[in-house]
Chains A and B, each alone.
Chain A
Amino acid sequence: MSKTFSIGGIHPNDSKFSKDQAIEDLPIPKRVFLPMNQHLGMPSVPVVKKGDRVKVGQKVADPAGFVSAPVHASVSGTVTEVALYPDFQGKRVTTIVIETEGDEWLESIDRTQQVKQEITIVPEETFRKITEMGIVGLGGAAFPTHVKLTPIEGMAPEYLILNGSECEPFLTSDYRLMIEHGQEILIGAELMRRVLGTNVNGIIGIEENKPLAIQAMKKITANYLQWKVVPLKKRYPQGGEKQLIDALLQRKVASFALPISTGAIVQNVGTAFAVYEAVQKGKPLISNVLTVTGSDLSVQENYRFRVGTPIQDILEAAGALDKDGKLLSHFVKVVNGGPMMGKAVVNLQAPVVKSSSGLLLLTEKETKRREPGECIRCAKCFQACPMRLQPYLLYQLALAGRTEELDEHRVFDCIECGCCLYTCPARIPLLDQIRLAKNALLKNKRKK
């Protein structure tokens, strides 16, 4: 009997159309845009200026504190600008622009394809490298990895959970990574496990709709005593940190508590791969894997991209643009991420960042929201909510601006997974208002 989390959840069609496309290297972009807010926390501080020449892997921005991460050049060339540029949502972010010239890498980076299996490095050194190489969580939130690996007093880690569930429909980047680079992922995970402590157990959670990945990872874990693969039932949002801990360990993370309070730390498989590259090969986080997909079967790709590549370039390579560089007419919307939690792209010139996992092309039929109806208190949203919140109530409180009651009804527990919105038969924009109220409350709290 496969495991899964105990509260709520939905079963969207998984639509993993691009799962058989092997990972391809994208051509090196002519120009990259490196935003300073590619992680959660304080934006990085640029250390290069206009006119500087940089090599691939060279640091171009320093972290601005503990919860922050450095940024490295993903191409070699000349810095042409350090200025405000709109990101994929049109918000302005300090961005370093590098014009590509050749492909010259730092000498310290090992560029051979050979898998470096033996771990010779001490955990302290691993931790230092993870911090310096700008590794962030590649599951979506882009939380700096070194922060998660920092011990907190009184909370001893017992389990390191590797998140290979990839519960977002359409996306297949983690899946391809597990199939093609399972060995590297496990070395990266083992490195992180050693940082946490030798008595920590490793679990890899993979959803059942990826039998090949389960098989591949099981084969590799045979050589690693502390690691085991656990198949999970297909259910969204299995990949949520709190849901995964519940599914694998049957432990609940309390409101406002960190996952480590249950003794578990969750890392994405992509992050483990990045850790492998950083520690064993000396390569900073300058590339990642992303899926270009959609229900239109003509565009299905898994690409390894350089961080900072404009979205336009990726779509062009995937064949989603016409001769004039415009989106093909049957695609009306590009979503950065998966269909559940991804955000619509309004600026195709904007770059993909460290934690980008997919570009989803939607057709007219898929994008139009229908007119919302009236709430009949059917409680479907309540059933679907994996955090056991009452979305319809939060929605109404948010509309009425009753902020104190929102707090009482645990609005901060909302993980914005979108299950309520997906399941609502009246198509009420529940999450829109809840997210708004949550952010407004957060701003108020910070002021105080």
Chain B
Amino acid sequence: MTSTLLYTVLILSLLGGVLAVVLYFIAQNFKVQEDPRIDQVLEVLPGANCGGCGFAGCRVFVETFINNPNRTDLFCPVGGNQAMQLAAKVLGREAREQVPKVAVVRCNGSCEVRPKINEYDGSPSCAVVADLYAGERACSYGCLGLGDCVQACMFDALVIDPVTCLPVVDEEKCTSCGACVTACPKNLMELRPKGPKNRRIYVACSNKDRGALARKACPVGCIGCGLCVKACPFDAITLTDNLAYIDPDKCRLCRKCVAVCPTQCILEINFPPKKQDTAHE
């Protein structure tokens, strides 16, 4: 009886000891050589795994970042310049600055100005609606209001405003990862530079119809009149397919276009109020 016990314990401990030695050698010989800097860099990055950098995950991004010191396009939009500086410091490199960006909604047609012309009661998803037909509201280019962008946002930076039925971007939370840009089936989201003092100007409309049709569909849409193009002293505004676009690199924030736009579809953000009614949210 005692001998059986004894043997069992002996054999098992022996077996354990031998296998431990074997495992030790295997671990030594087949060790995966990994750059220790990967973990160090990962530590200073936010690690949201959002894919905003264009890579499958943070780790892949860091590996590429370490191995390609000359590539200028590698940037973690979530961490921003601060995180990239820390990462560059770990690697002993010069950090490349990028202009911080923020998502903007290129549609201004709230539910008040753009009433429903039909009732949709299918799956509550913008993608399904866009696949099926032109949408509940008059303008077929505008926001569908079912919040695919809100669902796509990992940082809680988007909410659908219950009053306007349009998504609102929280500038503090938005990391410009671009998830909403891909999610929006109407291609309404755009990443634009935050601008000096967070001030920026953009065309809040995506309607490509002729003026009369656009006007009929939505009173605050771009009608392609071209007044802003003429008013702009810096050649920053172009008109393609009856839709104005302000080049953020050329725009000097003079706000002349905002003043001339007959439909008020050019929005100015975070400017001190000139008059009572120019402050836009």
List the interface of chain A (C-beta within 8 A of B): 84, 86, 89-92, 332, 343-344, 346, 367-369, 429, 432-433, 435-436, 439-440
Asked whether A368 lies within 8 Å of B134 as measured between CB atoms, the reply is no
Asked whether B134 lies within 8 Å of A346 as measured between CB atoms, the reply is yes
How many angstroms from the CA of A433 to the CA of B122 in the assembled complex?
10
Asked whether B121 lies within 8 Å of A436 as measured between CB atoms, the reply is no
Asked whether B128 lies within 8 Å of A368 as measured between CB atoms, the reply is no
Asked whether A429 lies within 8 Å of B134 as measured between CB atoms, the reply is no
Asked whether B122 lies within 8 Å of A90 as measured between CB atoms, the reply is no
Given contacts A86-B140, A90-B140, contact A346 B123 (CB under 8 A): no
Q: Tell me if B277 counts as interface (CB < 8 A to partner A).
A: no
Given contacts A89-B133, A346-B134, contact A367 B128 (CB under 8 A): no
B window 78-98: CB within 8 A of A: none
Contact with A along B97-122 (1 / 0, CB 8 A): 00000000000000000000111011
How many angstroms from the CA of A440 to the CA of B183 in the assembled complex?
12
Asked whether B121 lies within 8 Å of A368 as measured between CB atoms, the reply is yes
List the interface of chain B (C-beta within 8 A of A): 117-119, 121-123, 125, 127-128, 131-135, 140, 209, 213
Selected from A84, A90, A343, A439, the residue in CB contact (under 8 A) with B135 is A90
How many angstroms from the CA of A343 to the CA of B122 in the assembled complex?
12
Which residues from A are CB-within-8-Å of B140? 86, 90-92
How many angstroms from the CA of A367 to the CA of B121 in the assembled complex?
9
Sample 29 A-B pairs with CB under 8 A, ordered by A number: A84-B213, A86-B134, A86-B140, A89-B133, A90-B133, A90-B140, A91-B134, A91-B140, A92-B209, A343-B132, A344-B118, A344-B133, A346-B117, A346-B133, A368-B121, A369-B121, A369-B122, A429-B122, A429-B128, A432-B122, A432-B123, A435-B131, A435-B132, A436-B125, A436-B127, A436-B128, A436-B131, A439-B131, A440-B127
- The chain B residue sitting closest to A85, CB to CB, is B213
- Kindly count the residue-residue contacts between A and B in the assembled complex, taking CB atoms under 8 Å apart: 48
**Residue from B117, B123, B135 whose CB has the most chain A CB atoms within 10 Å:** B123
6 smallest beta-carbon distances between A and B, as pairs: A90-B134, A89-B133, A432-B123, A429-B123, A346-B118, A436-B131
Asked whether B134 lies within 8 Å of A89 as measured between CB atoms, the reply is yes
Which residues from A are CB-within-8-Å of B119? 332
How many angstroms from the CA of A288 to the CA of B164 in the assembled complex?
44
Which residues from B are CB-within-8-Å of A89? 132-134
- The chain B residue sitting closest to A432, CB to CB, is B123
CB distance from A422 to the nearest CB of B (A): 14
- The chain A residue sitting closest to B139, CB to CB, is A90
CB distance from B15 to the nearest CB of A (A): 43
Which residues from B are CB-within-8-Å of A436? 125, 127-128, 131
How many angstroms from the CA of A410 to the CA of B132 in the assembled complex?
21
Which residues from A are CB-within-8-Å of B117? 346
Which residues from B are CB-within-8-Å of A429? 122-123, 128
How many angstroms from the CA of A22 to the CA of B190 in the assembled complex?
56
